Amino acid sequence: MKIGVITYPGTLDDRDAQRAIRLAGGTPVSLWHADDDLKKVDAVVLPGGFSYGDYLRCGAIAAQAPATKEVIKLAAQGLPVLGICNGFQILVESHLLPGGLIRNEKQHFVCRDQKLRVENNNTAWTSLFEENEEILIPLKNGEGGYIATDETLKMLEAENRIAFRYLDTNPNGSMNDIAGLTNERGNVVGLMPHPEHAVEPGFGPDTDIAMRSGVDGLRFFQSVLKMAVNS
């Protein structure tokens, strides 16, 4: 199964996303931002980084790219899309997910191992998690505070569109401790933490079991592969 990973100028975690896909058993396909040909992939990952240097607004310029426009089109038809960190910002700027992401309350970049609760395991990217499962995923960002109007927040809560919530600490002042969202259909998921950094034993977050042994991120990619097999 082929999963595309889009590289924009300034994208940083594309190679990590590709590795995660490979470890999950899929075939990563490199996609270029200026190309609207998505090479018939079965799903797309918008990886983390600082596309266009976060100029204008994070993800704003990347949202205008030909590849992004194509993703928006296909997402409407059910293509699974995962937006990680900057990728989440691109999804929000593209209006595939509602709300906005702004600068951290504390005004500092922070890299930490973050506990999350998976609140919606009916999406293309979370089906292999238990409902309300607690997972540990690395977080690293300076602009990740989720904001939205009261109306939007009410709707998101009511429709169970909050895919992940921060536990223990809210690292960036996100409203309602929102760490990630999904769209109505469940094919588009965006989150600030980085599952692709918790996929390989020895290189993930520390756990009680052993140093750097956390691999909770792997199931994001395994979930979408399972879905493809089933469909």
Partner 1 sequence: MFKNKKLAASGVDTTEHAVAEPDRDQPWKELGLKEDEYLEIKNILGRRPTSSELAMYSVMWSEHCSYKSSKIYLRQFGEKVTDQMKEHLMVGMGENAGVVDIGEGLAVTFKVESHNHPSYIEPFQGAATGVGGIVRDILSMGARPIAVMDQLRFGAPENPDTSRVVHGVVDGISFYGNCLGLPNIGGETVFDSVYQGNPLVNALSIGAMKHEDLQLAKASNPGDLVILFGARTGADGIGGVSVLASETFESTGPTKRPAVQVGDPFAEKVLIECCLELFHAGVVAGIQDLGGAGISCATSELASNGGKGMKVQLQNVLLRDQSLTPEEILMSESQERMCAVVPKKQLKAFEKIVEKWEVEYSVLGEVIDEDRLYINWGHEEIVNVPPRTVAHDGPVYDRPVALPQYQKALNDDSSSSLKRAENATELAAQLMQLIATPNQADKSWITAQYDKYVMGNTALSMPDDSGMVRISEETGLGVALATDANGKYAYLNPYEGARLALAEAYRNVAVTGAVPRAVTNCLNFGSPENPEVMWQFKEATAGLADACLELGIPVTGGNVSFYNQSGDVAIYPTPVVGVLGVIDDVARRIPSGWQDDGNNIYLLGNTFDELDGSAWAKDLHDHLGGQPPKVDLAKEIELAELLHGASIQGLIESAHDISEGGLGIAVLEAALRFNVGARIWLGEMLERDAIDMTAALFSESQSRVIVTVGREDDVKFQALCEARGVPCLRIGVTDATSSMVEITDVADLKLDDIRSGWVSTLPELFG
Partner 2 sequence: MPKIIVEIMPKQDLLDPQGKAVANALQRSGNKEISAVRIGKRIELHFDRPITDKDMENASAQASSFLSNDVIEDVVAITKED
Q: From partner 2, partner 1, none, which one binds at residue 164 (CB under 5 to 8 Å depending on kind)? A: none
Task: Provide the 8-state DSSP code for 84.
Answer: E
- Cβ closer to partner 2: 61 or 124? 61
Q: Total residues contacting partner 2 (rule CB under 8 A)?
A: 19
The DSSP annotation for 155-204 comes to HHHHTT-EEEEE-S--SS--GGGEEEEE-SSSSEEEESS-GGGSSSTTSS
Position 96, amino acid: L
Catalytic residue among 70, 119, 143, 196: 196
Least CB distance to partner 1 at residue 200 (A): 7
Please say if 108 is a catalytic residue. Answer: no
202 binds, among partner 2, partner 1, none (CB under 5 to 8 A by kind): partner 1
Catalytic-role residue among 85, 119, 143, 200: 85
Listed residue (167, 168, 197) closest to 179, CA to CA: 167
Binding to partner 2 (CB under 8 A) within 88-147 occurs at 92-93, 98-100, 102-105, 107, 145, 147
Of 33, 58, 70, 194, which is the active-site residue?
194
- Taking the complex as a whole, how short is the minimal distance between the CB of residue 78 and partner 1, in angstroms? 30
Spatial separation of the C-alpha atoms in residues 92 and 52, rounded to whole Å? 16
Q: How many C-beta atoms surround the C-beta of residue 142 within 10 A?
A: 16
85 is catalytic: yes
Shortest CB 11 distance to partner 1, Å: 8
Q: Is 157 in the active site?
A: no
d(CA 133, CA 66): 37
Q: Which is nearer to partner 2, 60 or 72 (CB)?
A: 60
The residues of the shown chain that bind partner 1, judged by CB under 8 A, are 9-10, 12-13, 15-16, 19, 34, 49-50, 52-55, 108-112, 138, 140, 194, 196-197, 199-200, 202-203, 206, 210-212
Are 71 and 64 contacting, i.e. CB atoms less than 8 angstroms apart? Answer: no
**Rounded to whole angstroms, what are the CA distances from 123 to 15, 108, 190, 221?**
24, 32, 11, 12
Helix (H, G, I), strand (E, B) or coil at 28: strand
Which positions are catalytic?
85, 194, 196
- List contacts with partner 2 (CB under 8 A): 56-57, 60, 64, 92-93, 98-100, 102-105, 107, 145, 147-149, 173
